[in-house]
Amino acid sequence: MLVLPKRKLTIAGAAIGGLFVLYAGSSYWAGVKAEDTLQEQYRMLSGLPLFKVKSHSYERGWFSSTETTELVFNRHLSGPYENMLPDNMKPLLNSTIKFTNHVQHGPLPGLSSFDLRPGRALVKTEFAMSDATRKTLKTFFGDKEPITIVNHIGLRGGGLLDVNVPAFDYEEALSGVKMKWKGFDLKVDYSHNYQEYKTEALSPGFLLEASSKGAVSFDGVHYASDTRLGATGVKLGTSELTIGGVQLTSRESMPYSIKLNELIYLMTRVRVGEFVNPSGEFKPSSVALKNFSYQIVTSEQDDFVNTRGKVNFAELSFNDRRYGPMRLDVSANHLHGPTLVKLDKAIGAIPFEGVDPAVLRKQYIDTIKKNAVPLLENNPKLLINEFYLKMPTGEAKLQGSLGINGLQSADLNDITLLAKRIEAEAKLSLPRQTLEDLVLAQARNLFTVDHTAEDQPNMQEVDDLAKSLLDSQLAQWKNDGYLLEDNGQISTELKYDAHGLTIHQKKVPLPWQEEAEPAGDASAPAAEPVKPAAKK
């Protein structure tokens, strides 16, 4: 009678042992696969220009693993903006960001915390900070963790990444500095190897106020994207950003030097070179932006990519001037996808830190010339579907298109042949006052000399001269029928193709067309024929 219970115990023990071996084996397999996913995420992180990797290690165990990474801020990029930060936040830029990913392997990686979702791994990130850094952050966040990151990696290699930065209120009574941060949440739902991913980020609001200098704030920031990798290698899908409002109030003049090329690269991964880097001075002012949004949709047909972008805002106010609403709707169609991918890789491989601007500019131009020709050979077309902006002086409107049709690589060596491949149309309307303001600003820049020089130009005379020249030119163009003016609005339209250029339906001769016409005046009467000599 005792044999049966012993056999049952033996069978039960064998079953438990088998389950343990099966779970241990599947956990080890899950650990191997989880490492592959985390290595891909590390590769993406190390490619970000904002940071530089100081060290990285991965120690894989049977049921759990540990990944440790040390990052430092790229001061070449953050340097131009550091003077905008509060003094007690600046030491953070010198610190090392060290974080450890604690990886629990599947098939039930969250079992110890009663999370019964199956998967390869549950990854929780822990940040190691120096005492000075921890003290600085404690000033803002108190006992809360400054950032929490949890990554659940599914059985197929995809997963869900959650990032949270808690809200805080901070105030310095002596200096009058106030900071109110309403928190940040990010969710990334990704597939294996990031072939597809959905992103949603929300930042309810932020306020920074300095009693002596001014204030900056924003609210209602929401970003969402749905991205997949196309057959050509181009990322397809949609992305949308909405901002409820942004407000900047400055109580004193503040010099600025903004490295726009580096800032654009940080935000978009697009390098534009050293082309537009403004510097100057913010004078005491108040700027507010309301209900800003943009949307980008990218699709693919065969080897070609089409993309469309829309940008809108309800109102932009600068001191007592109001602009808006504004609507911009642009498209880029029939772009050769493989060439876009090749061009992106070539531009991304150009080193830009510490490179002389002139040298960098030449590298960009040479790279574009070398890699972008197939884009031009495949009949690309750019469209301005709509541009509308209401201004204090009137309305600005623009519709148009620019395309290249039938281009061959040999045409690039002949400017006349290249010009004949271009097709363009446009309809434009804008306030005369706006055009005058642009001309006056350009004239002032042209005639302004060193402020320390003894002889300074009379700016009123410069303005009067610029207005006179503009009035004369506009009068001539109106008289010739190239444009119309009605209630302070100037409007015109143009069309250009291989047959030539017309402005407001009037033919405009181009240099190569003038050269092609036969010598002499076709309107002049024909010469009398020479009579033969009489016979003697």
pLDDT digits (tens, 9 = 90+) for 218-251: 999 999 999 999 999 999 999 999 999 999 887 7
What pLDDT is stored for residue 526 in this prediction?
44
What pLDDT is stored for residue 301 in this prediction?
92
Helix (H, G, I), strand (E, B) or coil at 520: coil
Does 268 have pLDDT greater than 90? no
CA atoms within 13 A on the CB side of 218: 13
Q: In whole numbers, what is the pLDDT of the chain averaged over residues?
A: 81
Contacts of 163 by beta carbon, 8 Å cutoff, 6+ apart: 147, 148, 149, 184, 185, 186, 187
DSSP 289: E
Sketch the domain layout of the chain as residue ranges: 7-128
The per-residue pLDDT for range 8-56, each reduced to its tens digit, is 666 666 666 666 667 677 778 888 888 888 888 888 777 776 778 889 9
In the numeric block, which tokens belong to residue 89? 């936040």
Contact 424, 405 (CB under 8 A): no
Distance, in Å, from the CA atom of 82 to the CA atom of 104, rounded to the nearest integer, reads 39
DSSP β-ladder status, 184-190 and 159-165: antiparallel
Does the CA dihedral 36-38-42-48 come out positive or negative?
positive
> C-alpha distances in angstroms, 326 versus 126, 310, 314, 398?
44, 10, 7, 12
Per-residue confidence band for 283, with pLDDT thresholds at 50, 70 and 90: low
Distance, in Å, from the CA atom of 477 to the CA atom of 468, rounded to the nearest integer, reads 14
Of 82-91, 110-119, 442-451, where does the model show the most confidence? 110-119
The per-residue pLDDT for range 492-525, each reduced to its tens digit, is 999 999 888 999 988 888 776 655 555 444 444 4
> Which has more confidence, 427 or 274?
427
What pLDDT is stored for residue 84 in this prediction?
55
The per-residue pLDDT for range 300-349, each reduced to its tens digit, is 999 999 999 999 999 999 888 899 899 999 999 999 999 999 988 888 78
